[in-house]
Amino acid sequence: MTESNGSTEQQRAAMPDWEKRFRAPRVSLPDWAEDAPHRALFVSNATGTYELYAWDRGTGQQRQVTNRANGTTDGVLSPDGEWIWWFDDKDGDEFGIWRRQRFTAPKSTDAVDGDAGLDADADAGVTEADAPAAPGLEPSYPGGLAIGRDGRTAVVGRSTDEDGSTIHVVRLGEEPVEIYRHRESAGVGDLSHDGSLIAVEHTEHSDAMHSALRVLRPDGSTVTELDDTKGGTVELGLEVLGFAPVDGDTRLLIGHQRRGRWEPLVWDVATGEETDLALDLPGDVAAEWYPDGSALLIAHSFEARSDLWRYDVASRELVQVPTPQGTVSGATARPDGTVEYLWSSAAEPSVVRSTTGEIVLDPPGLKSPGSVPVEDVWVEGPGGRVHALIQKPAGTTGPLPTVFDIHGGPTWHDSDSFAAGPAAWVDHGYAVVRINYRGSTGYGREWTDALKHRVGLIELEDIAAVREWAVTSGLADPARLILTGGSWGGYLTLLGLGTQPDAWTLGIAAVPVADYVTAYHDEMEALKAMDRTLLGGTPEEVPERFEASSPLTYVDAVKAPVYISAGVNDPRCPIRQIDNYVARLTARSAIHEVYRYDAGHGSLVVDERIKQVKLELDFATRHLPQ
């Protein structure tokens, strides 16, 4: 039975703000088709599960493209706007195949009028319309995808434990052709506008943190290479940002680290000429082409915030694109020269804006409440100044029960952006401290690369320094300190509980690494390569480093109550190594709780995420001193 509008409104009014933030419909930045810019693809949680949606901007019509129990977020729109490719795995295990369906809806999934909002009732699961996009390629982990302008050719990257990395040219009606293979990690970077050149990122030199580049022809022959990992005392990385969007144009926009941070340059792969932009901007800089190839849209990130600039290639003029203070998590230049971007701050929910001043895509229904702004704190740590972002309930003074919410990655960073999880803790009276420890991005190459070999232990030194500041400053109550995080943050939580047992009152770890050796043997091949880079070898080659960095080594020292949640299909932090850690807690009757759910590395289902937050909040209420 369908609820009346009055009943629905009553339920919304009774719902706490923290839950509304998870349930309110969100949308990603729409990705538009290069040769059909009125056609776009985006992700939304409008149905309660994150799925792909097609949007005809000319008519306003939107329709749900995918409809799977555990959600779908990986999709690519072909340049001609005719086809949507989406990745089909099993219950979040990230191992699967690409499928495709036409942009226009099959008869049974006719689009609804744009004024009606997102079509939450469309029957858009895996149907006959979702045929395998690359017949002949067995299931794998994805390794990049680039689709040709004709919609009939694609370059597909794959990764498996058996084959390592492979790249294939797929043409409609023909068998896939393998053009690249190597044991180390590699992936598709981009396909040139005319389809004659393929840019590949690879780590054949066995450093998974710093890629080199190779440009191939569709027959697999090499055009040219660029490798910044050789010839110096420090290995530097390169990344593909995109070919110029002009037929016959051999300019490739790439990112480099030659001056100690990420910056763009233009590399002509035919002549070898490199045009260094030498932008006078602090922090990390990325870029993408404007649609006519005459300018670059610059994305600039510095000290947990970001902004946008336009760089004219001919005149070398740099002009700022106005955006509010906060974080731009995605941006794109449209054919008319306007820029659309996904923006938020810690206090204000995300929204897709345009430089015209308009909101580009505003989903109907429940609106997300805001939260409190962040305060910036810099703390002297053993490796330099550590940047922390602080949120606390409005009008409160310390000492407060405090949550140290540690980000994953590790090559990632917390920013002044909207996050429902930290806001939920603030609503319940906690201060929240987020820390951009060594290993985080956005503070220069040396900061990101600093955690090699003493993995986990270096990050925890920075976390300890910020913890000490939080206590001595009067913000945090030393008797009520929670260490928490997901993925790498979950790993640091368990490692911190064991190596700093007197520092933390309780720990909450989501999808963590708990037993590093077993995790290495069970995880996907790309993460094995990353671990070999971070630790300097395999568990058999450097056993002492794996032992020093594994939470399992210190599990018997853990004093605080421990809560762990884990996806049973997780290929990144597999369940067996978590079970090993939990068995050790159980053997000594340590206080702990474990929640296992049927998904992978996190959940795309809103109800499931809310359930997990409720469990975490309840665990803290029951075990934290009042």
pLDDT number for residue 127: 60
Q: Mean pLDDT, the chain, as a whole number?
A: 93
Q: Is 11 helix (H, G, I), strand (E, B) or coil?
A: helix
Residue 325 has pLDDT above 60, yes or no: yes
Count of Cβ atoms closer than 10 Å to residue 100 Cβ: 21
Residue 115 has pLDDT above 50, yes or no: no
Q: Give the residue from 384, 385, 445 showing the smallest Cα distance to 260.
A: 445
Using CA atoms in the order 34, 36, 39, 40, what is the torsion angle rounded to 10 degrees? 0
What's the whole-number mean pLDDT along residues 398-421? Answer: 96
d(CA 452, CA 443): 16
pLDDT number for residue 626: 86
Residue 60 token pair: 């306003």
pLDDT number for residue 2: 42
What's the whole-number mean pLDDT along residues 269-275? Answer: 97
Summarised one tens digit per residue, pLDDT across range 516-564 is 999 999 999 999 999 999 999 999 999 999 999 999 999 999 999 999 9
Using CA atoms in the order 220, 226, 230, 232, what is the torsion angle rounded to 10 degrees? 180
pLDDT number for residue 122: 38
pLDDT number for residue 583: 98
d(CA 393, CA 156): 48
What's the whole-number mean pLDDT along residues 234-245? Answer: 93
Give pTM, 2 decimals: 0.94
Q: Is the peptide bond before 373 cis (omega within 30 degrees of 0)?
A: no
Residue 222 has pLDDT above 70, yes or no: yes
- Give 567's pLDDT tier (boundaries 50, 70, 90): very high
- Give 70's pLDDT tier (boundaries 50, 70, 90): very high
Q: What one-character DSSP code corresponds to residue 193? A: T
Q: What one-character DSSP code corresponds to residue 541? A: T
Share of the chain above pLDDT 90, in %: 90
Instruction: Provide the pairing of β-strand 212-216 with 198-202.
Output: antiparallel
Q: Give the residue from 604, 609, 620, 617 showing the smallest Cα distance to 69.
A: 604
- CB contact set of 360 (below 8 Å; sequence gap of 6+): 30, 340, 352, 353, 354
pLDDT number for residue 108: 46
pLDDT number for residue 76: 98
Question: What helix, strand, coil percent values describe the chain, rounded to 5?
Answer: 20, 35, 45
Residue 366 token pair: 């429940």
What's the whole-number mean pLDDT along residues 347-362? Answer: 97
What's the whole-number mean pLDDT along residues 114-135? Answer: 59
> pLDDT higher for 478 or 150?
478
Q: Which residues of 267-298 are buried (b: 16+ CB within 10 A; e: fewer)?
A: bebeeeeeeebebebebbbbbbbbbebebbbb
What's the whole-number mean pLDDT along residues 332-336? Answer: 97
What's the whole-number mean pLDDT along residues 321-335? Answer: 97
